[in-house]
Structure 1
Amino acid sequence: MQEQRRFDVWAAGAAYERYMGRWSRAVAEEFVARLDCADGLRWLDVGCGTGALSAVVAARRSPLRIVACDRSEAFVGSARATVPGPVRCLVADASSLPVRDAAYDVVVSGLTLNFLPRPAEAVAGMVRALRPGGLAAAYVWDYSEGMQFLRRFWDTAVALDPAAAALDEGRRFPDCRPDALRALWTGAALVDVSVTALEVPTVFADFTDLWQPFLAGQGPAPGYVASLTEPDRDRLRDAYETAVSSRPDGSIPLTARAWAVSGRKGEGRESPT
């Protein structure tokens, strides 16, 4: 597991934006649009990254306030620079949130739970921060099937190098499936739990637009690419280009699916100690 996690590098905001951030913003819009909550509430964003989800909340839900936290200092710096409105950005680990009990109406987490060593512990912390009756919701990419550009990348990489299977997010992250997400939420004693699919288009201008972000070293797949020798990297690039279909204008139309889970903290429930 430690060997796998050394590829989970998330430190440079600009590189993340090119690789995943543009799609993160699109799925954040879908997620917030479907949340069953009012405007003018207190929000906590756990694992905020560069601030994509908090920015959508600020723009769409007129929050009373947002506290956004992430363990990456660079990502928190990006969030501070990009999220408008009444937001406070903190460097903090999801498993030890520096917030008061029952202080928030909505606690959310976007594309983060699968990268945490103890996701159930993080969800318990989210519930601790939530007022009775408040909403806890999160979403993660469907790495096993629905995140097409990554699915095709790993299928290609494993065909060339079977050892790459150990790094494939579809195999590594069993929590990125509906039943596992539901179990996390019900295990935290949340009620009215539901899991839904969110799907967004991921259209690349050409193969260069698809491939270049894999060279920046941000995330498991780019980390794997960085570990290859130049000949092996060229072989992977050529095989990957063959594995994706392009339109006559060179663009590559794919889609990305995420699974979203939500539930409420029971009325009158005490926060765990």
Structure 2
Amino acid sequence: MREQQRYDVWSAGDAYERYMGRWSRRVAERFGAWLDPADGLRWLDVGCGTGGLTAVVSARCRARTVLGVDRSEGFVARARASASPPAHFVVGDAMALPVRDEACDAAVSGLVLNFLPSPAAAVARMARVTRPGGLVAAYVWDYAEGMGLLRRFWDAAVAVDPAAAPLDEGRRFPVCRPEALRAVWAGAGLADVSVVPIEVPTVFTGFADLWDPFLAGQGPAPGYLASLDPAARKRVRDALSATVPREADGSVALTALAWAVRGRRTGRAAR
């Protein structure tokens, strides 16, 4: 596990935006519409990253307050730079949330749950800081099948370097499937649990627009690439380039599937 986690680098907000943030923001918009919450709620965004989901909650969900929490000082700095009321951000740990019990009306998380030491414990903590009747919800990529960019990357990487197989996010993160998410939410004592797919287009202007963000070292796949020598990195690049579909203008049109899950706290949260 530690060998896998050493590639999970999260520090440079601008680099993350180009690599994954731009696609996460598209999912966040549809996620917010699906939640369809009441106005004026107090929100907590757990693992807020560069603030994409926080911004959607502030605007689309017409929040009263939104607190974004993330361990990465670089990500929080990027989020603060583009934030506006009612959003504010603190550096903090999802496994030890810096808020009191029942302080929130809704706790949400985007693309973070699978990277935490214990997803089940993290969701239980989210439930505990949410008032009875409040909302606990999240979304994660379908790494195993539906997140086209990463699925194609790891297939190419493993074809070139079979030793990369244990790093494949589809293999690493079994929680990112609908049945597993439903079980985690139910295990946290949440009721009315619902899981739905959210698919967004991921269109790249050309192969360089797809490939270059992998070189910035933010996340498991870029972290793995950074560990390779230039010749091995080129072999992965060439293998990936050979598999991606190109339009007549050179653009690359893929899709990204996320699973969204929500539930309601009915009483005391599971500990």
TM-score past 0.5 threshold: yes
Give the superposition deviation at 1:249: 0.1
Give the corresponding residue for 1:144. Answer: 144
Q: Does structure 1 residue 228 correspond to structure 2 residue 220? A: no
Give the corresponding residue for 1:249. Answer: 249
Give the corresponding residue for 2:58. Answer: 58
Q: Does structure 1 residue 192 correspond to structure 2 residue 192? A: yes
Query: Kindly, what percent of the aligned residue pairs are identical?
Result: 66
Q: Distance in 2 between matches of 1:134 and 1:70?
A: 22
Unaligned runs of 5+ in 2: none
Please list the CA deviations of residues 35-82 of structure 1 after superposition, one character each: whole Å capped at 9, or x if unmatched. Answer: 041111110000000000001111212211011100111111111112
Give the corresponding residue for 1:8. Answer: 8
Alignment of 1:52-91 (within 5 A): 52-91=52-91
Give the superposition deviation at 1:272: 5.4
Q: Does structure 1 residue 213 correspond to structure 2 residue 218? A: no
The alpha-carbon distance between structure 1 residues 272 and 194, as it changes in their structure 2 partners (threshold 3 A), is: closer
TM normalised by structure 2 equals 0.98
Partner of 1:15: helix, strand, or coil? helix
Give the superposition deviation at 1:195: 0.4
- 8 Å CA contact 1:49–1:70 kept in 2: the answer is yes
Q: Distance in 1 between matches of 2:264 and 2:73?
A: 30
RMSD: 1.0
Give the superposition deviation at 1:233: 1.0
Give the corresponding residue for 1:126. Answer: 126
The alpha-carbon distance between structure 1 residues 152 and 272, as it changes in their structure 2 partners (threshold 3 A), is: closer
- 8 Å CA contact 2:187–2:270 kept in 1: the answer is no
* Number of matched pairs: 271
Give the corresponding residue for 1:202. Answer: 202
One-letter amino acid of the structure 2 residue matched with residue 8 of structure 1: D
Give the superposition deviation at 1:83: 2.4
The alpha-carbon distance between structure 1 residues 271 and 154, as it changes in their structure 2 partners (threshold 3 A), is: closer
One-letter amino acid of the structure 2 residue matched with residue 226 of structure 1: A
One-letter amino acid of the structure 1 residue matched with residue 172 of structure 2: R
Alignment of 1:141-180 (within 5 A): 141-180=141-180
Unaligned runs of 5+ in 1: none
Q: Distance in 1 between matches of 2:160 and 2:269?
A: 50
